């Protein structure tokens, strides 16, 4: 399986980006974090495979740009919080 399409690899990459890869964290926290990650990933899959098909090409591009900016803005606020 390609790592591009591996949810596990994306989750591991996420853990690395937030500084938790290889760290000891409580089992409950890890489980809930993984559930939230997979839930968000699943929502993205639905958005990009079903919902976006209902839009024109121009509308789809605008929505993807808006979606991408929203995520970038969120992470900027998280970085400043430390």
Q: How much is the pTM? A: 0.72
Does 43 lie in the same domain as 73? Answer: no
Does residue 63 share a domain with residue 44?
Answer: no
Are residues 38 and 2 part of one domain? yes
pLDDT tens track for 13-23: 999 988 899 89
Q: Which of 24, 63, 30, 17 is nearest to 44 (CA)?
A: 63
Q: What's the domain range around 82?
A: 55-82
Number of domains in the chain: 2
The encoded tokens of residue 42 equal 């699943």
| Cα separation, 72 vs 82, whole angstroms | 16
Place of tokens 């990459």: 13
pLDDT in tens, 21-78: 989 999 999 999 999 999 999 998 888 888 888 899 999 999 999 989 999 999 888 8
Q: CA-to-CA distance for 51 and 53, rounded, in angstroms?
A: 5
Task: List C-alpha distances in Å: 17 to 13, 14, 27, 47.
Answer: 6, 5, 19, 24
């Amino acid at each position: 399986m390609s790592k591009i399409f591996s949810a596990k690899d994306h989750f591991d990459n996420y853990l690395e980006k937030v500084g938790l890869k290889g760290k000891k964290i409580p089992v409950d926290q890890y489980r809930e974090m993984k559930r939230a990650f997979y839930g968000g990933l699943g929502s993205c899959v639905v958005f990009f495979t079903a919902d976006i098909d209902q839009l024109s090409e121009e509308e789809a591009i605008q929505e993807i740009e808006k979606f991408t900016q929203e995520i970038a803005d969120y992470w900027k606020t998280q970085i400043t919080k430390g």
